[in-house]
Amino acid sequence: MDLAFTPEEQAFREEIRGWVKANLPAETAHKVHNALRLTRDDLQGWAKILGKKGWLGWGWPKEFGGPGWNAVQKHLFEEECALAGAPRVVPFGPVMVAPVIMAFGNKEQQERFLPGIASGEVWWSQGYSEPGSGSDLASVKCRAERQGDKYIVNGQKTWTTLGQYGEWIFCLVRTSTEGKPQTGISFLLIDMKSPGVSVRPIKLLDGECEVNEVWFDNVEVPAENLIGEENKGWTYAKHLLSHERTNIADVNRAKRELERLKRIARTEGVWDDVRFRDQIALLEVDVVALEMLVLRVLSAEKSGKNSLDIAGLLKIKGSEIQQRYSELMMLAAGPYSLPFIEEAMEAGWQGNFPGGEAANAPLASTYFNMRKTTIYGGSNEVQRNIVAQTVLG
């Protein structure tokens, strides 16, 4: 048992750090460090830089063109990217659909789709949730009817993150209404440029359009876009969900944001206020404890000797921490977090922010936006159900 990283791991970290420093656009990092609005180009630009290096699929095995890193190396890569201010990689392509294609797609599908994902050229979206099925994902209604060599898709998906940029979307669709709800679901890849697909951005409470409704009106999808077998999609979706483990805790981002919180607290004059400072101290303990939890999971994955089934805990604690730092940032600025000046959330804005700190502009919006973290990706209530099941049976 040893807390320190091995010399090899340290060297690996240094390599990543040097490369990120040399390749991450300064403008993008500035936006990330100050929670300013990221454009499609910011996100895809960084994805393509990673893709060119072969690191956009950083979790991929070598046989599919990935670097073949182990759990610790993946974590070190993620940590270095996060601390340097890289934007989170939009996960739907490289982290979510790619492993499903690798595990359950046929060779043709792998050759057809993986290169575009690995290079960052093709923007993927996720089509899971529907208006009636949030926590109850198995109740999806969006129908795909087989007609010859195609499926005709009708229905609606919602909460499709950044779907306004999407070129392809992977969907859970209903191909059968017989048996248990889980048994009639298929996993389909759909070209979003197909006739009948329409996307409507949903304005969120912070004024931003981060998620979308996606409508399918008699959309024709070639049957070759079906992953695996018809009516087995639930199995593939579950594989995808179980694939995500430590990533979901987002502890590296939390460490970066904790630093930002401290900067804001100094600027706003509450760093020396015991009351406020103690709130930060409590959060610091939370972040360290979460990081230790993540490291334990990584170590178990690396050694394969123990398996720690605590993904639910990572999701719950990680999301609560995200909410808490955003809350404390807003409270640090107090009244000066209250002006809502949309332009001030753009990098390079030169206006006069009331009170003088343009860095305060996104604080309340971020706090509002972060309420999503305990709702999406399996609400924290659902996660508690899962954790309780493992403990109580």
Partner 1 sequence: MDFDFSEDQGALRDAVQKWVEKGYDFERRRAIVAAGGFDRAAYGELADLGLAGLYVSEEDGGLGMGPVEGMVVMEALGRGIVLEPLAQTLITTGLLGGYAPAELKAAWLPRMASGEALVVLAHQERKARYKLDVCATTATQAGSGWALSGTKNLVPAADQADAFVVPAMAAGKLALFLVERTATGVGSSGHLTQDGSRAGELTLKDTPAQLITTDGLTALEHGVDIGIAAACAEAVGVMDKTVSITVEYMNTRKQFGVAIASFQALRHRVADMKMQLELARSMSYYASLKLNAPAPERRAAMARAKVQLGQSMRFVGQQAVQLHGGIGVTDEYIVSHYFKKLTQLEMTYGDTLHHLGEVSNRMQDTAGVFA
- Point out which residues bind its own copies (CB under 8 A): 274-275, 278
Which partner, partner 1, its own copies, none, binds residue 128 by CB below 5 to 8 Å per kind? none
3-state secondary structure 120-178: CCCCEEEECCECCECCCHHHCCCEEEEECCEEEEEEEECCCCCHHHCCEEEEEEECCCC
Q: Provide the mask over 45-84, with x wherever binding to partner 1 is found by CB under 8 A and - wherever it is not.
A: ---------------------------x------------
Instruction: Compute the least distance from the CB of residue 218 to partner 1, in Å.
Output: 26
Using the rule CB under 8 A, which residue among 148, 195, 335, 348 binds partner 1? Answer: 335
Burial of 4 (0-12, 13-18, 19+ CB in 10 A): exposed
Q: Which stretch binds partner 1 (CB under 8 A): 15-23, 167-175, 238-246, 369-377?
A: 369-377
CA atoms 54, 56, 58, 61: torsion sign: negative
Residues 6+ apart with CB under 8 A from 192: 125, 163, 166, 167, 168, 169, 199, 214
- Cα distances from 234 to residues 158, 175, 238, in angstroms, run 18, 11, 6
Integer Cα distance of 378 and 204 in angstroms: 19
Interface residue with partner 1 among 111, 285, 307, 346 (CB under 8 A) is 285
CB 278 to its own copies: min, Å = 7
Per-residue DSSP letter, 353: -
User: Per CB under 8 A, which region of 94-102, 230-238, 241-249, 274-282 contacts partner 1?
Assistant: 274-282
Please report whether residue 19 would count as binding partner 1 according to CB under 8 A.
Answer: no
- With binding defined as CB under 8 A, does residue 92 bind partner 1? no
Least distance CB 224 / partner 1 (angstroms): 32
Only one residue has tokens 């006069």, namely: 352
Q: State the first-to-last Cα distance of the chain, in angstroms, to the nearest integer.
A: 31
Q: Does 5 bind partner 1 (CB under 8 A)?
A: yes
Taking residues 213 to 252 in sequence order and writing x for each that binds partner 1 by CB under 8 A, - otherwise, the string is ----------------------------------------
Residue 280: name its binding partner from partner 1, its own copies, none (Cβ under 5 to 8 Å by kind): partner 1
Shortest approach of partner 1 to residue 247 CB, angstroms?
17
- Chain centroid offset of residue 220 CA: 29
Binding-residue pattern over the window 292 to 311 for partner 1, x denoting contact by CB under 8 A: xx-xx-xxx-xx-xx---x-
**Consecutive H or E run containing 36:** none
Q: How many residues are there in the chain?
A: 393
Give dist(CA 174, CA 189) in Å, integer: 13
- By CB under 8 A, name the one of 127, 219, 268, 322 that touches partner 1: 268
Shortest separation between residue 275's beta carbon and its own copies, angstroms:
7
- Least distance CB 274 / its own copies (angstroms): 5
Smallest gap from Cβ 303 to partner 1, in A, equals 5
